[in-house]
Chains A and B, each alone.
Chain A
Amino acid sequence: MHEFLTALGDFAFLRCALAGGLLVSVAGGIVGSLVVTRRLTALAGGIAHFILGGMGGARYLSKVHGIEWLSPLHGALAAALLAAVIMTFVRLHAKEREDTMIGALWALGMAAGVLFIWRTPGYNEDLMAYLFGDILLMSTGDLVVIAILDAIILAVAFVFYGQLVAVCFDEEFARLRGLPVDLFYFVFLCLTALTVVVLVTVVGVVMVIALLTLPVAAAGRCSTRLWQMMALSTVFIAGLTTLGLAVSYDANLPTGATIVMLAGALYVVVTFGGKALARVRVRARG
């Protein structure tokens, strides 16, 4: 740990990574709480994998067709929002089963990404960064983007808190109370899509769902209100990214995978530790 703290003073890229981890925790904690309570984990996973197509496509266009300003992040954002539009449309108009569509987006996005990367000259290291994340590549520009997203999500969560609780808890009742439930769903999917994109920069396409659900589920076990779950999830994700960064730096391990393993450990401890604690309490009372 001491080694990590010393390095933090020496290297700007490490400070950037640390700040990035802290910033994504706000978006991840709030949106993750909504994803988990609305049981849309699979949908978030589908969006995450779909954006690989966007990242690959953007990189292909920039390298092969010389559109140099286009970065993989742009492609990811476009793909994520496209997925949100498609899934909202499917829910409102098509008779297609939602889980079938999620599976289709999931696989087709991956396939498109692989084909684009195959056709793009250069090293395939980028592919590894997209799939498994590389928080050490976080730039100050990325930090600004994430901070803006955090601000938007915080504002929405504050202004529409009561509505969000109602829509997540009982969508039909919310509709009967005159809330624009379908609009809420679309906005929610867009925020989920954007959050997935920023989390992908930390842990990658494959593992993003772990960071969006494991700390959140652990927080849910310790919360009696949705805002508590959001706040605690944010704290958990911030702790996990920071600890993951430190551990992976000291032990020379890939950061994304380290963070996800720590998230898994947190989830197991809180879930099963909580159950054991409850049993002990019951026994003490009996």
Chain B
Amino acid sequence: MKRQGSLHAGDAPALTFDRVWFAYDGPVVLEDVTLSIPRGDFVSLVGPNGGGKTTLLRLALGLIAPARGKISVLGAAPADARRFVGYVPQHQVFDPQFPVTVMEVTLMGRLAPARPLGPYGRGEKAAASEALGKVGLLDTRDRPFSTLSGGQRQRVLIARALASAPELLLMDEPTANVDSPALVELYDLLRLLNQTMTVVLVSHDLGFVSRLVRRVVCVNRTVTTHPVGELSGAEMQRVYGTAVHMVRHDVHGDGGGCGCTSS
């Protein structure tokens, strides 16, 4: 796949938040968030519902702007970096009756303001086919999107993000409504993708996350980063109410204690 230019900031981190505050017309959703995700990292945002995980993702995509602080994506402003960011939304938000094929969904990833007008060209179709091949769904290319299983739809949406050859992949709850065999396939796929790009995902599924990612970013109004390890996280247990043995507090990190439960 051909890259469409570059941001010329190859050494900048994939994602940085510098003292970012955010609120939707009401209480503060994110408070003084500072965070840096280096290139090539594999990170999961975890935390309770309403804790600000999705808000953090939307800020990184430039869909909303912070009240205070600075966000930088691949060394640029979020809106300018979008071309190099692959976004994978939750698959169950789509209209099940929408008449669209797997190939057509994947081709959406090739859309850009600069592309020539008119139908998709051969190069665009080749890039979409290649992306579908990566997620193992090339043989379903002409099938209606609505006839696929949840796990397959999720992978088509990943292919759509891959079709633009992103440097950073942002995923919202990729494990939601996906059955366990499909989860294993997803696990292998994400590992493979992480070899060539930074992956940041939002997940509730700590079991899935702990086997996969290198670091966990705990989001609950404030943010703390933990490397994945063997030690139990007492704070995480309090948040989720179950025993969680996979996430270790990063005692050497800048957070100084887990922010998950700070009111």
Contact = CB atoms under 8 A, between A and B. Distances in A.
Nearest to A217: B97
Given A169-B108, A173-B87, A225 B117 contact: no
Contacts of B85: 176
A173 B112 CA distance: 11
A172 interface: yes
Nearest to B85: A176
11 contacts: A37-B99, A163-B111, A166-B108, A169-B100, A173-B89, A175-B63, A176-B61, A177-B164, A178-B113, A225-B101, A228-B99
Interface stretch (A103-111, A118-126, A142-150, A154-162): A154-162
B120 A162 contact: yes
Nearest to A160: B117
Give the dominant DSSP class at B's interface.
loop
A177 B107 CA distance: 11
Nearest to B117: A159
A204 interface: no
B117 A226 contact: no
Given A37-B99, A162-B107, A228-B99, A178 B117 contact: no
Given A169-B105, A170-B89, A172-B89, 8 more contacts: A158-B118, A170-B94, A170-B108, A172-B63, A173-B160, A179-B111, A225-B99, A226-B99
Given A173-B87, A173-B108, A176-B85, A224 B101 contact: yes
Contacts of A163: 111
A178 B164 CA distance: 12
B118 A159 contact: yes
Interface string B109-138: 101110001111000000000000000000
A225 B160 contact: no
A203 B100 CA distance: 30
A78 interface: no
A151 B200 CA distance: 46
Interface string A159-197: 111110110111011111111100000000000000000
Contacts of B250: none
Contact of B104 (A39, A159, A165, A172): A165
Interface in B159-179: 160, 164
Nearest to A38: B95
Contacts of B108: 162, 165-166, 169-170, 173-174, 177
A87 interface: no
A159 B117 CA distance: 6
Interface residues of A, number: 29
A163 B104 CA distance: 11
Contacts of B13: none
A1 B88 CA distance: 55
A35 to B, nearest CB: 13
A153 interface: no
A174 B111 contact: yes
A169 B98 contact: yes
Contacts of B82: 176-178
Contacts of A176: 61, 63, 82, 85, 87
Nearest to B113: A178
Contact of A229 (B63, B89, B99, B164): B99
A271 to B, nearest CB: 11
Contact of A223 (B94, B99, B117, B118): B99
A220 interface: yes
A217 B24 CA distance: 37
Interface in A203-239: 220, 223-226, 228-229
A226 B146 CA distance: 13
B83 interface: yes
* Residue of A39, A165, A174 with highest tally of chain B CB at under 10 A: A165
Contacts of A228: 99
B144 interface: yes
A179 B98 contact: no
A149 to B, nearest CB: 21
